[in-house]
Amino acid sequence: MLEETIKVIMVPDWDKVDPEIIKLIKTGHMHLREGVVYWAKGKKLSEGAGSIVKHLPFKEMTVDVSQGVNVEQLMKATAAMQKSIGLAVGLSTGIILAAIVIQTAYLSQKLNKIQASIDKIAVEIQTQNQLFYLEKLSSYMGSIMAAHEMLAVSKDSEAYPEVIAPLLATLAQQRNELCTFLMNLIGWIDHSKAIENKITDEHAALIVDFVTSVLDVMPKSIYVESALYTILGKYHHADALVESAAIKYKSVLNSYRLWASDGYDKWLVGQGSRSSHLLVNKFPDIKNLLHSIENQLLLGDSQQLCKQQLECFVTP
């Protein structure tokens, strides 16, 4: 059941995988999604009938997501495996993290929390334009929940392209609308105070928490979206989706970074605006979001994470 917090997930059994396959994954010639190894686009080294090379063997792994996911612990757990098979800690951790997102209640818990907060935010946002996008966000959360359930069902039954294809189109549209909404929402906090004086500091803080939570869940949602392509056998489409969605997401995240940095710098020199004072309490959460290794792994950045950053987690 998706509601379970202690869950047995299935992860690749690397001890049974051909070392040559592992080498090609490390070099980027092959990619891995949901236990299927396939040639990366434009990197095929041998002739064959198709892109799929191999379905990997699996083994069970027990995880507890009741308190979220501790990436540091996952990295430590995979460090020993890295030594035995030579697979990068970031890559192997990303594979386990992806399995947690797809196979457990971890994502559902985050989506439910955001869904529950939407009504509270709607009370504070009274402009028609922002309410329009808030409704779009609610629809997006519902679509991701539907996709997550569909992935769970697909493990035991045949995938239905006629159902999944329209959902993919809907998710793409809703995700882009959400990015537009988030780009506008933070600036609206200061504008509302300066021009209309509509919301209190407490309610503005609630909106900052809301934006941080939504930006944190988006990489997980993007991965779920890509997994729908995977169950259709469209592996290169899944790769392309993550790549393009990651670019848009990082643009929004960078805008949030600049907003937070500017506000915090002004607060330090005594020139703080309304948002600057909010950051006194909110900056640690925002900083955790901006430097989230978990989100970087899900957006395909496992190979790009700096060695020193990984070593600080896996050193005893």
Buried-exposed string 30-59: b where 16+ CB fall within 10 A, e elsewhere? bbbbbbbbbbbeeeeeeeeeebebeebeee
| Count of C-beta atoms within a 10 Å radius of residue 188 | 17
Higher pLDDT, 63 or 111: 111
Higher pLDDT, 214 or 95: 214
CA 195, distance to chain mean position in Å, is 35
What is the pLDDT confidence band of residue 200, given thresholds at 50, 70 and 90? low
CA distance 113 to 54: 38
pLDDT tens per residue, range 99-157? 888 888 888 888 888 888 877 777 666 655 666 777 888 889 999 999 998 888 876 66
Residue 89 reports pLDDT greater than 80: no
Taking residues 37-43, report their average pLDDT.
83
For 147, the token pair is 């996709």
Taking residues 40-68, report their average pLDDT.
73
Higher pLDDT, 178 or 50: 178
The pLDDT value given to residue 125 = 64
CA distance 216 to 221: 10
The pLDDT value given to residue 252 = 94
CA distance 39 to 28: 9
What is the CA angle 215-219-224, rounded to 5? 130
What is the pLDDT confidence band of residue 221, given thresholds at 50, 70 and 90? very high
Residue 312 reports pLDDT greater than 70: no
The pLDDT value given to residue 194 = 47
| Count of C-beta atoms within a 10 Å radius of residue 190 | 17
Cβ atoms of 73 and 108 closer than 8 Å: no
- For the chain, give every domain's residue range: 6-104+303-314, 108-292
Buried-exposed string 78-94: b where 16+ CB fall within 10 A, e elsewhere? bbebbeeeebbbbbbbb
The pLDDT value given to residue 215 = 96
Residue 175, helix vs strand vs coil = helix
Residue 106, helix vs strand vs coil = helix
The pLDDT value given to residue 15 = 80
Cβ atoms of 2 and 152 closer than 8 Å: yes
The pLDDT value given to residue 127 = 58
Lowest mean pLDDT among 90-99, 126-135, 232-241, 300-309: 300-309
Residue 223 reports pLDDT greater than 90: yes
Lowest mean pLDDT among 50-59, 83-92, 306-315: 306-315
Q: 39 Cβ partners below 8 Å, 6+ apart?
A: 29, 30, 31, 45, 51, 53
For 269, the token pair is 């020199």
For 219, the token pair is 């990489």
CA distance 161 to 231: 9
Buried-exposed string 98-136: b where 16+ CB fall within 10 A, e elsewhere? bbbbbbbbbbbbbbeebeebeeebeebbeeeebeebbeb
pLDDT tens per residue, range 272-295? 655 566 667 788 899 999 999 889
